[in-house]
Amino acid sequence: MQFRDFAYRVFTRINFIPEFILQANSIIRAKELCKNIYIKDTNYVALAIDMNLTLLTRDIKLQKGLNKKKFKDVMLFNDFIYNI
């Protein structure tokens, strides 16, 4: 239970990602993926693409929407916690 509290505190404090650190092609792809879901999540998706990492989210609509668009590198945070 302590790890969950720690992880929640860490991940809820991530508020923004400066676009200048993201590659243009990742931003373009992320905008297309996030269109009609949540455009506000574009930078997070672009960062996951850039770094070739799985995006962790608590947003079920985002996760399902990205999966529908064949973006599989997204995982619900609760699933991550239960699988470690």
What's the pLDDT at 19?
66
What's the pLDDT at 14?
64
Alpha-carbon distance of 18 to 81, in angstroms, equals: 27
What's the pLDDT at 11?
73
Q: Mind giving me the DSSP string for 48-77?
A: HHHHT-PEEES-HHHHHHHHHTT---EEEH
pLDDT tens figures, 26-48: 999 999 999 999 888 998 999 99
Sign of CA dihedral 25, 60, 16, 37: positive
What's the pLDDT at 30?
95
What's the pLDDT at 52?
92
Q: For the chain, which ranges sit under pLDDT 70?
A: 1, 13-19
